[in-house]
Amino acid sequence: IRFMLLFSRQGCIRLQKWFVAAGERERRETRRELLTTVLARGPRSSSCLQWRDLSIIYKRYASLYFCCAIEEGDNELLTLELIHRYVELLDQYFGCVCELDIIFNFEKAYFILDELLLGGEVQETSKRVVLCAVEEADDLQVETDVTRRVLQDLGFASA
Amino acid sequence: MPAVSKGDGMRGLAVFISDIRNCKSKEAEIKRINKELANIRSKFKGDKALDGYSKKKYVCKLLFIFLLGHDIDFGHMEAVNLLSSNKYTEKQIGYLFISVLVNSNSELIRLISNAIKNDLASRNPIFINLALHCIANVGSREMAEALAAEVPRLLIAADTMDSVKQSAALCLLRLYRTSPDVIPVGDWTSRVIHLLNDQHMGVVTAATSLITALAQKNPDEYKGSVSLAVSRLSRIVTSSYTDLQDYTYYFVPAPWLSVKLLRLLQCYPPPEDPAVRGRLSECLENILNKAQEPPKSKKVQHSNAKNAVLFEAINLIIHHDSEPNLLVRACNQLGQFLQHRETNLRYLALESMCLLASSEFSHEAVKKHQETVINALKTERDVSVRQRAVDLLYAMCDRSNAQEIVSEMLNYLETADYSIREEMVLKVAILAEKYAVDYTWYVDTILNLIRLAGDYVSEEVWYRVIQIVINREDVQGYAAKTVFEALQAPACHENMVKVGGYILGEFGNLIAGDPRSSPLVQFNLLHSKFHLCSVATRALLLSTYIKFINLFPEVKVTIQDVLRSDNQLRNADAELQQRAVEYLRLSTVASTDVLATVLEEMPPFPERESSILTKLKRKKGSVSVDVDDGRRTGSVELNGAATQDSLANKASAVSTPSPSASADLLGLGAPGIGILGHSEGPVGNVGTGGASLLVDVFSDMAAAAASSSPQIVGTPPEDNFMKFVCKNNGVLFENNLLQIGVKSEFRQNLGRVCLFYGNKTSVQFQAFTPSVSFSQELQSQLSVQTKPVEPTIDGGAQVQQLVNVECLLDFVESPMLNLQFRYGGAVQNLVMRLPVMLNKFFQVSEMSGQDFFARWKQLSSPQQEAQNIFKATQSMDEEVNKAKLLGFGMALLEGVDPNPENFVGAGIVQSKLVQVGCLLRLEPNAQAQMYRLTLRTSKEVVSKHLS
């Protein structure tokens, strides 16, 4: 996978992950082109389309579009299911995920994606394993947060 | 504000995000963001040291702002600090910031590699994973160099945790992809291969990706992976979906791993060992069988995952291309998908079938679905599916079905989406030529093509039809007749006029016997289109007319009258005027014999590959085209042709002078002056320049070179950068090891610099890596592409490297060339400036004295002028100075300045985005041995910089 984009029906980018080095100018161009291309497609169109020398695989979940670019020879249908697996993970993690969850907890969305995909390749497909990894990290965070709150209450730290 | 989920403590961040969301307008949002940026900046700069939490919070806010699409130019250091925090969450945010914001070539990478190394050495697997994720996300060459040893160690160490192994495998893959030469592949081949046997499915999944990439580059070393992959695959395929627990996806056992294993096997030919081969065939059959079983779930995820494996298996079958039975089964399976109600499956089936069509075993089987595919072309709602259908029709076309397929494609062309028309036109043109049994059919097809989609018929296509008609005598009469008929249409496309003009000019005599197409009728028909056509077409028609004079003496007078009319003889276009004058003269002066010799029929073109094919390949990345040609090389015999150049040459050879040169010159002059006059308004002021180019040339070269001399390790070299201000070729650098020569060419805003690296020693240079770097500022002004070179240079040998440069904006500094190589044991580093300067992108502009001074006065504001008075170091020879100024790239305007000793020049800097006019005046004072140089340009920096 070359890159992954999440964007809303209105064309706001919600998450972007690039697995190949590219300049910001090129990325901006890519985002703009793909947004217009994908948003213009009808509801019963195929989820795959050819864009430059890449295949674009996308799927819409409620108001969010998930969109992956893969190279020739990569498996299209499985990429589609990879998107689905990611959505499942988000869903399970946030408990009925909505766009707002991703906006407010964007860093979490990135962490979950990092567990699933690394350097553009599938790393771990087991839902259980991925969520374990993410929650383990959360536990570490909660510990530090508890101390923080205590300090905050005592007026030693800022909100 | 929504309920913040688990363990989230950054209230400040949440508040900020909801503020942004509550902004009613874009302006309000920007205002809020700027406020926040100012706040963060002051916090970071403040005297009070921030605690880790605040740092994390602010870095996170910056990240959010960046993801909204705003530029972030600070905070990197704070993020780097977070990396060394011992609190996990702070570290995590630090890493996230780095991997999202840091470009792979950033300076920061050096700073973070220490933190990364520490984390890699940590005992906590979560920390190790964070570091690995970061390496994989950034994945730059510097990273690879710094960490080439650590990552493989983690991968193969016996005591590494599974999750770390997974990350290490993919991390290594990423590093291997960016810099294969840095990663010591050989050391751990067999350990890596045996990861295929690992108990943990996640580890196997990750390792398979790595092995596939390694096997593509080193197939022999990784041959052992084939049998392991087959047995692993076989275990998955035969397992029931309950066996693999977490790795079963909607009742499909381990689809991701299966697909990856099938991809790995596509790196190799069918296994030689009969046992392995048999086992693999069983697997593939098993997968094909499963496709026929009733689904275990109605969910689309189930069928997608199942079919994903099936498609990958089919890819492997096509790759092996050795088992007719499997190929035909695959084809039948895809045939079912062609009519499936899922759009995705139809799309993918069309795509896969293109590959099947190229196998001799399944080509016939694919043809059975022709009807369905044509139907898809007519009924599919989605343009990307129709596009695939066109590709498949193209791939399945052969002599037996060409006529039908071509006519269906022509039908579709009438309503086809604009986005795919040009490609379709090319495909139709190729098929019609390749499978033409009867050339009248070919001519009909191409003329139809022009009629239906004239705008999309590129030059290659109509050049080609003319080449073929000229080379094939049997079709010439028919072509003349058909094109004559086609021209009768009241509105016909200009391309039709071009083809018609050319063919009637050559073969009009073949139909002149018929009174309905007598010479005069032919001429009147063509001439009725004349006034609607572009200059190029009119020029072609004028050539047709002179050919008519030769072919049909009876219309000579009529045509001479036309040529003589003011419309032609005094045409504003130089090319048309010239042709009219010369043809008229030729027709009056030359005897019939001379005329007949000059205008003899075109000789056949030499046989060549069709330029249309090349064009299609260029356009498409060429998947289907290549495959197709590989299969039927025997039948690709094309029917005779020449490249477009030779045709164009022939066409202009009819008119004696070379028209293009004069046209170009005029083209340069006129718009140039316009730009000079107009550009000053909109173009504002920019910063001040650094080096002063011209002064350096005229005064002290050595001093200038020294003042900005590059730092060089090793023997003192000679930097000749300044010499290149006024010339394009020469020796850029020389010491006792190495000589670097430069040849460069610049046209408008594009440049091509060829670097020649000569090894002066008798010892091989190793790890020879030249690279071009530039400052932040220059990045937006200049785009540079470098072709890679071989990492070694033998003693006494020379290698060359091509650097393409595009000037986007005016610029001041030059890009740097960094060289690194090993000579003997020692690493040599060289840094020098690449001779790419702003004045290289000058385009001369000629103007009269009056114009010059008018513009000179317009550019009179002090910011636009730069002046320099300096002492001459060489004798003040007029000719030498002239040569230097010309080399500088400007036009020298003679007789403009009242003082004949002064030099006056004008030029325009061509960049992609702006054009900057420049005027120059150099006043030598022979007595004082001084020069005064004054430059006025429409852009301040440019003035300063150039002077």
Instruction: Write out pLDDT tens, residues B446-457.
Output: 999 998 888 888
Instruction: Note whether A81 contacts B255, CB cutoff 8 Å.
Output: yes
Q: pLDDT at position B113, please? A: 82
Q: pLDDT at position B716, please? A: 39
Q: pLDDT at position B697, please? A: 35
For range B9-17, the mean pLDDT: 81
Q: pLDDT at position B275, please? A: 94
Q: pLDDT at position A105, please? A: 87
Write the residue in B7, B173, B315 that is nearest to A142 by C-beta.
Answer: B7
Q: Which residues of B touch A26 (CB under 8 A)?
A: none
What backbone torsions phi and psi does residue B756 show, to the nearest 5 degrees?
A: -115, 115
- What's the count of helices (H) and strands (E) in chain B, helices before strands? 43, 17
Q: pLDDT at position B9, please? A: 61
Burial environment of residue B341 by CB neighbours within 10 A (0 to 12, 13 to 18, 19 or more)? exposed
Angle between helices B300-320 and A76-94 (to 10 degrees): 150
More confident residue, B231 or B780: B231
B909, B902 Cβ separation under 8 angstroms: no
DSSP assignment, residue B863? G
Contacts of A73 (CB under 8 A, 6+ apart): B263, B315
Token pair, residue B21, equals: 């969301």
pLDDT band at B624 (very low <50, low <70, confident <90, very high): very low
User: Minimal Cα–Cα distance from A62 to chain B, Å?
Assistant: 17
Token pair, residue B160, equals: 């590494």
Which of the residue ranges B116-130, B334-348, B840-854 would you say has the lowest mean pLDDT?
B840-854
Burial environment of residue A96 by CB neighbours within 10 A (0 to 12, 13 to 18, 19 or more)? exposed
Q: Which residues of A touch B7 (CB under 8 A)?
A: 138-139, 141-142, 145
Element holding B364 (H helix, E strand): helix B363-367
Q: How far is CA B660 from the centre of its chain?
A: 28
Q: pLDDT at position B500, please? A: 93
Mean pLDDT value across chain B: 79
DSSP letter string, chain A: --EEEEEETT--EEEEEESS---HHHHHHHHHHHHHHHHTS-TTS-SEEEETTEEEEEEEETTEEEEEEE-TTS-HHHHHHHHHHHHHHHHHHHTS--HHHHHHTHHHHHHHHHHHEETTEE----HHHHHHHHHHHHHHHHHHHHHHHHHHHTTSS--
Instruction: Note whether B104 contacts A53, CB cutoff 8 Å.
Output: no
Token pair, residue B613, equals: 């094919």
Q: Cα–Cα distance between B253 and B260 in angstroms, integer?
A: 13
Partnered with residue B925 across adjacent β-strands are B930
Identity of the amino acid at B821: F
Q: Is the pLDDT of residue B637 over 60?
A: no
Answer positive or negative: Cα dihedral of B249, B253, B254, B256.
Answer: negative
pLDDT in tens, B846-899: 777 777 777 777 776 666 767 777 766 666 667 767 776 767 777 777 666 667
Coil/strand/helix, residue B309? helix
pLDDT band at B485 (very low <50, low <70, confident <90, very high): very high
Q: pLDDT at position B454, please? A: 83
Q: pLDDT at position B666, please? A: 29
Q: Is the pLDDT of residue B276 over 60?
A: yes
Q: pLDDT at position B924, please? A: 75
Q: Is the pLDDT of residue B71 over 90?
A: no
Looking at chain B from residue 145 to 174, which residues have their Cβ under 8 Å from any Cβ of chain A? 163, 166-167, 170-171, 173-174
User: Minimal Cα–Cα distance from A14 to chain B, Å?
Assistant: 8
Q: pLDDT at position B70, please? A: 83
A 10 A CB-CB count for B634 gives: 6
pLDDT band at B104 (very low <50, low <70, confident <90, very high): low
Q: pLDDT at position B394, please? A: 93
Question: Tokens 């805003």 sit at which residue?
Answer: B749
Instruction: Note whether A114 contacts B133, CB cutoff 8 Å.
Output: yes
For range B287-306, the mean pLDDT: 90
B196, B204 Cβ separation under 8 angstroms: yes
Q: Is the pLDDT of residue A59 over 90?
A: yes
Question: Tokens 């998908």 sit at which residue?
Answer: B337
* Listed ranges A48-62, B63-77, B99-113; the one with the highest mean pLDDT: A48-62
Partnered with residue A16 across adjacent β-strands are A5
| Calculated CA dihedral for residues B43, B49, B55, B58, nearest 10 degrees | -10
For range B538-549, the mean pLDDT: 92
User: Minimal Cα–Cα distance from A142 to chain B, Å?
Assistant: 5
Exposure letters B595-619 (e unless 16+ CB within 10 A, then b): beeebeebeebeeeebbbbebbbee
Please name which of B820, B826, B695, B806 lies closest in space to residue B763, comparing C-alpha atoms. Answer: B826
For residue A85, the chain B residue with the least C-alpha distance is B249
pLDDT band at B753 (very low <50, low <70, confident <90, very high): confident
Straight-line distance from the first to the last Cα atom of chain B, in angstroms, rounded to the nearest whole number? 60
pLDDT in tens, B592-622: 888 888 888 888 877 766 777 777 777 654 4
Which of the residue ranges A110-119, B280-289, B468-477, B607-616 would you say has the lowest mean pLDDT?
B607-616
User: Minimal Cα–Cα distance from A97 to chain B, Å?
Assistant: 10
pLDDT band at A126 (very low <50, low <70, confident <90, very high): confident
For range A62-86, the mean pLDDT: 91
Q: Which residues of B touch A84 (CB under 8 A)?
A: 301
DSSP assignment, residue B488? T
Q: Is the pLDDT of residue A158 over 70?
A: no
Burial environment of residue B773 by CB neighbours within 10 A (0 to 12, 13 to 18, 19 or more)? middle
Q: Cα–Cα distance between B947 and B945 in angstroms, integer?
A: 6
Q: Cα–Cα distance between B303 and A77 in angstroms, integer?
A: 9
Instruction: Note whether A76 contacts B8, CB cutoff 8 Å.
Output: no
pLDDT band at B768 (very low <50, low <70, confident <90, very high): confident
Q: pLDDT at position B137, please? A: 84
Question: Tokens 């009469």 sit at which residue?
Answer: B477
pLDDT band at B693 (very low <50, low <70, confident <90, very high): very low
For range A16-45, the mean pLDDT: 86
Looking at chain B from residue 425 to 464, which residues have their Cβ under 8 Å from any Cβ of chain A? none
Q: pLDDT at position A123, please? A: 87
CB pairs under 8 A between A and B: 207
Q: pLDDT at position B940, please? A: 52
Looking at chain B from residue 65 to 84, which residues have their Cβ under 8 Å from any Cβ of chain A? 67, 69
User: Minimal Cα–Cα distance from B333 to chain A, Å?
Assistant: 16
Which of the residue ranges B54-63, B76-85, B189-198, B758-767 would you say has the lowest mean pLDDT?
B758-767
User: Minimal Cα–Cα distance from B308 to chain A, Å?
Assistant: 5
Burial environment of residue B491 by CB neighbours within 10 A (0 to 12, 13 to 18, 19 or more)? exposed
Partnered with residue B908 across adjacent β-strands are B843, B917
Token pair, residue B418, equals: 């604009």
Token pair, residue A13, equals: 């980018």
ipTM for the complex shown: 0.90
Q: pLDDT at position A132, please? A: 85
Angle between helices A127-153 and B88-101 (to 10 degrees): 120
**Is the minimum CB–CB distance between B46 and chain A shorter than 8 Å?**
no
For range B752-760, the mean pLDDT: 82
Instruction: Note whether B247 contacts A125, CB cutoff 8 Å.
Output: yes
Q: pLDDT at position B728, please? A: 77
Exposure letters B819-843 (e unless 16+ CB within 10 A, then b): bebbbeeeebebebbbbbbbbbbbb
Write the residue in A72, A84, A105 that is nearest to B8 by C-beta.
Answer: A105
Q: Is the pLDDT of residue B843 over 70?
A: yes
For residue B102, the chain A residue with the least C-alpha distance is A21
| Calculated CA dihedral for residues B302, B305, B310, B314, nearest 10 degrees | 150
Long-range contacts for B121-125 (Cβ within 8 Å, ≥24 apart)? B121/B150, B125/B161, B125/B163, B125/B164
Contacts of B118 (CB under 8 A, 6+ apart): B84
Token pair, residue B13, equals: 């961040």
More confident residue, B622 or B140: B140
Instruction: Note whether B170 contacts A140, CB cutoff 8 Å.
Output: no
Query: Considering chain B, what percentage of its residues have pLDDT values greater than 70?
Result: 82
**Is the minimum CB–CB distance between B87 and chain A shorter than 8 Å?**
yes
Q: pLDDT at position B708, please? A: 36
In this structure, the strands spanning B252-253 and B915-925 are unpaired
Q: pLDDT at position B694, please? A: 39
Binding-site positions of B: 11-12, 43, 53, 57-61
Q: pLDDT at position B21, please? A: 86
Q: How far is CA B495 from the centre of its chain?
A: 29
More confident residue, B449 or B830: B449
**Is the minimum CB–CB distance between B60 and chain A shorter than 8 Å?**
yes
Q: What is the pTM of this model?
A: 0.66
DSSP assignment, residue B793? B
Q: pLDDT at position B619, please? A: 66
Q: Is the pLDDT of residue B545 over 70?
A: yes
HEC letters along B652-666: HHHCCCCHHHHHHHH
Coil/strand/helix, residue B899? coil
Q: Cα–Cα distance between B54 and B79 in angstroms, integer?
A: 11
Which of the residue ranges A74-83, B182-191, B856-865 would you say has the lowest mean pLDDT?
B856-865
Q: pLDDT at position B794, please? A: 79
For range A43-58, the mean pLDDT: 88
Instruction: Note whether B263 contacts A73, CB cutoff 8 Å.
Output: yes
Q: pLDDT at position B684, please? A: 31
For residue A158, the chain B residue with the least C-alpha distance is B54
Coil/strand/helix, residue B747? strand
Mean pLDDT value across chain A: 85
**Is the minimum CB–CB distance between B98 and chain A shorter than 8 Å?**
no
A 10 A CB-CB count for B251 gives: 16
Q: Cα–Cα distance between B314 and B323 in angstroms, integer?
A: 12
Q: pLDDT at position B638, please? A: 35
List the single best residue of B67, B98, B236, B912 to mutate versus A (max A Cβ within 10 A). Answer: B67
